[in-house]
Structure 1
């Protein structure tokens, strides 16, 4: 998909990729729109329709009592990846809102964390949509897996 046919979020991502530190610029712009995400210092590292990857750096502010990345920080990264993916992917006539998250902790998160959110294109239908979310450490080991449930509805007609 080229920038002329992409939606606003995907176009913005593609434009920022032309600059040094484009991922950081784009991530800061997203975090300004949804300031809570800035608490985990996320970095969007890959965005395409129906897929987004976000890095959450391991640092003291996101540690738990055993000095691994706290699962709530990982969930924040997963939610950011999902939200950016949804905004970059949803058909223009639809809108979304999250309804819930279900995750399993599968391993200790002792490094930076790569959060991935994916859907299949045909899933963009009115009703419940389950976005697959997975978090990996720097060795590629899955540390969290689950889904975020979205409610998809038609946008109201403009009068």
Structure 2
């Protein structure tokens, strides 16, 4: 695969079956996740965004539907913490090795605790960033959990 990213390399290494879905990334889109869903013709509840957070000062990754709002209180609880906040974009890029808009939960520079919104389990497949802008992977929620060691949790407001 000539277009391999650290994310797709990690998925292949984990033995996970996935399909690559590419689209024209628009950095000016107000909601890049919703734009991605529309661009690939996929229902927003099947397209998931990767967000980097800090829980009690420690980095973590959450993967939630693109149209959903994250509850920081629930994120903290999911990881057994007291407080959670969004990680600053520059820190997220340093931590993951990916650029904002292309952050994937797979193949990050440093493996961190990861949580997948439980809503993913109701979907036949989910679409998650594949490690660069405009580059997504479609796979089962179970495979996403297996590849990241994620927990599934109630993360939405």
Shorter-chain TM band = under 0.3
Return the index of the structure with the highest Cα Rg. 1
When normalised by structure 2's length, the TM-score is 0.25
Q: Choose between structure 1 and 2: higher strand proportion.
A: 1
Higher RCO (CA-CA < 8 Å; seq separation 6+): 2
In the superposition, the TM-score normalised over structure 1's length comes to: 0.25
